[in-house]
């Protein structure tokens, strides 16, 4: 990833303007956040500078263009994009997608190129549906445990992901993906 290839925030916004009407504030904030994120990734080689990871949270009602903004952004920057729905995520071992499946989607979008995937964007939609359920007796397989698993991903960790499949089994080769430089954008209506 070359710092010179990353367009300046005003250029990113100008390109977003060509596709997205309205949402001026969101486009401005996203342009700066994405630029800063990739600037951090590009300067990762400099030892004396340490910039902390920053992720984004987009809040807005259904149909206001959250997913579309992210799709346009990924196409503009030419980086792999994975879009996941938080409602389908469950704790490992239960029916539904486990948390690592988000990263395996990204790996598939990057044509199984780990280095390319590590510079991609992950958009997790419906993040507000992951709230902990109040005083229920049965096990909460899509609430708190998923939150904790996602937090580990968002903060940056090494994740074992199956190559070319969406479930872990003995026949599928595994690859380690470091999520430190992946930009996570979460969206929800709250």
Q: Distance between CA atoms of 141 and 79, rounded to whole angstroms?
A: 32
What Cα–Cα distance (Å) separates residue 54 from each residue in 39, 40, 41, 156, 176?
12, 9, 11, 10, 22
Q: In the chain, helix, strand, coil percent, each to 5?
A: 45, 15, 40
Confidence of residue 168 (pLDDT cuts 50, 70, 90): low
Confidence of residue 19 (pLDDT cuts 50, 70, 90): very high
State pLDDT tens for residues 41-96. Answer: 887 666 676 777 889 999 999 999 999 999 999 998 889 999 999 988 887 777 77
Across-strand partners of 178? 158
State pLDDT tens for residues 105-157. Answer: 999 999 999 999 999 999 999 998 887 667 667 777 767 888 888 998 999 89
Q: At 162, which helix (H) or strand (E)?
A: strand 158-162
Q: Are 53 and 180 in contact (CB under 8 A)?
A: yes
Residue length, the chain?
190
Three-state secondary-structure class, residue 184: strand
Q: At 58, which helix (H) or strand (E)?
A: strand 56-59
Q: Are 123 and 147 in contact (CB under 8 A)?
A: no
pLDDT at 163: 84
Which tokens belong to 29?
């904030």
Other beta carbons within 10 angstroms of residue 171's beta carbon come to 6
More confident position, 170 or 87 = 87
What Cα–Cα distance (Å) separates residue 162 from each residue in 18, 69, 102, 112, 151?
37, 29, 11, 10, 20
Quote the pTM value: 0.89
């Amino acid at each position: 990833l070359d710092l010179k290839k990353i367009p300046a925030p005003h250029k990113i916004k100008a390109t977003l303007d060509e596709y997205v009407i309205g949402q001026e504030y969101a486009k401005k904030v996203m342009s700066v956040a994405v630029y800063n994120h990739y600037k951090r990734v590009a300067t990762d080689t400099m030892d004396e500078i340490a910039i902390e990871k920053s992720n984004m949270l987009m809040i807005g009602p259904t149909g206001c263009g959250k997913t579309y903004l992210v799709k346009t952004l990924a196409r503009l920057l030419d980086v792999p994009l994975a879009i996941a729905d938080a409602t389908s995520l469950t704790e490992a071992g239960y029916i539904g997608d486990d948390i690592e499946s988000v990263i395996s989607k990204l790996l598939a979008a990057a044509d199984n190129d780990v280095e390319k995937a590590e510079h991609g964007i992950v958009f997790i939609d419906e993040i507000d549906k992951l709230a902990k359920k109040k005083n229920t007796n049965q096990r909460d397989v899509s609430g708190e445990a998923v939150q904790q698993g996602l937090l580990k991903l968002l903060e940056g960790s090494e994740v074992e992901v199956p190559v070319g499949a969406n479930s872990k089994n003995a026949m599928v080769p595994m690859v380690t993906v470091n999520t430190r430089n992946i930009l996570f954008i979460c969206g929800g209506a709250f």
